[in-house]
Amino acid sequence: MTTMKEQLERAEQGVDTLLRTRRDRWYPTFHIAAKAGWINDPNGLSYFHDRYQVFFQHHPFSTEWGPMHWGHVSSSDLVTWRREPIAMAPSIEADRDGVFSGSAVVSDDGKLVVYYTGHRWRNGVNEDDGNLQVQCMAVSDDGVNFHKLGTIVECPDGLLHFRDPKVWRTGDTWYMVFGACSADKRGQVWLYTSQDMHTWAFDRVVYEDPDPDVFMLECPDMFPLGDKWVIGYCPMGPRPQGYVGRNGHNAGYVVGSWQPGKEFHQETDYRLCDWGHNYYAPQTMLAPDGRRLVFGWMGSFTLPVATQAEDGWCGQLTVPRELTLGEDLHVHAVPARELTALREDTVDFGSFELGANEDKLLLEDAEDVEIELEVDLTRTTSERVGLNVHKTPDGHHTFVCYDDLAHRVVIDRRDSGKGDRGYRGAPFTGDHLSLRVLVDRGSIEVFVNGGQETVTSFSFPNEGARALELTSESGTIAVESLRVHHLRTIWETPDR
Ligand code: FRU
């Protein structure tokens, strides 16, 4: 094989070629995306040399998934991001067909140590005869240039899926979980341990999804939150049930108790991390101040994404979110508090009542904004408390609402400009509705009542200004407060 240096040069040229014809109608203002090309899972989230390091699965040669590289961006404050060179490319036999997902930790001797899955197709071409997947290690002195050390965990005999190492340290011991498809086709999380970061020993199968349809758990994560432990994972194979599991790919979690050397005791059922169309492969990290942060991937493996055809880029990460554990053992997620620094030109609509069957124009062009809406539901009779988002002159828009009949907070793309339609909804009951809605140029993230639930979906508007409206149906809306902030670009050099 050619050296990694040569592969990385080719990859950068691939991105530059696509960049020349990139279309920006839906390119995000305040979400991480590749300059051009395809991205999926966030990888290697870490804090190293006083900067947040965010890597991601990246195909630099097209807007489709392909031989995986690790793209890279970094930030000192979680708000303003710098583009870094592509960090890793396939270059050794073990990762011949892809440098798959993984994580990063800082070693005691001050290196950024990366664990990832080296991926090969068994037949050399595609998945028909299964995968050959091993866990690999790479190290970096500066966080930018990586030196591969090769395979550190071989694939046990007979496993066709074995990937996505997530590493952490508890006490003096390093732990690694990854996803596996067992010999009898059950989705499992395997746990290994190490004292020296190089030699890894099997500890146990720490979790198995009880659903017999689930054959593989992608991108597992295992981390303490409050006084519990969370196992996050992305089950492959479950059937949709009501509002749950409607996407080709869905991410969820269970909460329980765990101590080193012991079993994991599950204390909750499986729950979705997010109820929207486009949230997958989340990975968490610890911020220097001890907060648990998460980034998810907004994309789709199964349905075409509107940017794929002509725009030269595909996929973005969610904004960073802070996780906390609710008393009900639900994981709550809000935008990282740093993100308020992106706000500018705030428009304050104060408190008011919207009459029955009315549309109130809030902004004529709201392509990258944050909406903060507080509603007294005890004084609200509207069947739905609605926001028309990305509303273009032709009338197309995406409908975000609280539906008082279904008791759900919904993103409905029935009338969206381009792309996949369908609706999704998170459960909500209560007398007071509090929504934070992040609207970027091609996406919407809704945070319900302090992050009890979230709903994350693409939204691709048609040509023209993108208006924002508040809308009522067959009743009135008692707005306690409503503010809309413009959000500025996250890029250090404003190349979007
Ligand atoms: C999940 C995933 C991972 C894998 C990577 C490949 O989105 O399929 O399991 O490592 O993407 O790009």
Measured in whole angstroms, how far is the alpha carbon of residue 27 from the centre of its chain?
17
Q: What percent of the chain has pLDDT over 90?
A: 97
pLDDT of 36 higher than 70? yes
Q: What percent of the chain has pLDDT over 70?
A: 99
The string of pLDDT tens digits covering residues 253-309 is 999 999 999 999 999 999 999 999 999 999 999 999 999 999 999 999 999 999 999
| Mean pLDDT, rounded, for 363-378 | 98
The string of pLDDT tens digits covering residues 338-351 is 999 999 999 999 99
| Mean pLDDT, rounded, for 365-370 | 98
- Kindly give the distance from the C-alpha atom of residue 57 to the centroid of ligand 1, in angstroms, as a whole number: 8
pLDDT of res. 496: 53
Return the best residue to mutate from 57, 69, 217 for the ligand 1 pocket (most ligand atoms within 8 A of CB).
57
pLDDT of 494 higher than 80? no
* Residue 127 pLDDT level (bands cut at 50, 70, 90): confident
The string of pLDDT tens digits covering residues 37-75 is 999 999 999 999 999 999 999 999 999 999 999 999 999
CA 65 to ligand 1: nearest atom:
12
The string of pLDDT tens digits covering residues 176-216 is 999 999 999 999 999 999 999 999 999 999 999 999 999 99
Measured in whole angstroms, how far is the alpha carbon of residue 68 from the centre of its chain?
17
- Kindly give the distance from the C-alpha atom of residue 100 to the centroid of ligand 1, in angstroms, as a whole number: 6
The string of pLDDT tens digits covering residues 383-434 is 999 999 999 999 999 999 999 999 999 999 999 999 999 999 999 999 999 9
DSSP state of 271: E
Q: Is residue 472 a contact partner of residue 373, using CB atoms and an 8 Å limit?
A: no
CA 100 to ligand 1: nearest atom:
10
| Mean pLDDT, rounded, for 210-232 | 97
pLDDT of res. 493: 85
The residue among 222, 225, 228 whose CA lies nearest residue 166 is 222
Q: Two tokens at 188?
A: 């499992």
What does the alpha-carbon distance between residue 180 and residue 330 come to, in Å, rounded to a whole number?
25
What does the alpha-carbon distance between residue 86 and residue 9 come to, in Å, rounded to a whole number?
9
DSSP character string of 117-129 = EEEEETTSSSGGG
Active site annotation includes 196:
no
What does the alpha-carbon distance between residue 36 and residue 19 come to, in Å, rounded to a whole number?
5
Select which of 16, 41, 211, 348 is catalytic: 41
What does the alpha-carbon distance between residue 146 and residue 212 come to, in Å, rounded to a whole number?
40
pLDDT of res. 464: 98
Q: Is residue 94 a contact partner of residue 120, using CB atoms and an 8 Å limit?
A: yes
pLDDT of 1 higher than 70? no
Pocket of ligand 1 (CB under 6 A): 40-41, 57, 68, 100-101, 117, 163-164, 218-219, 280-281
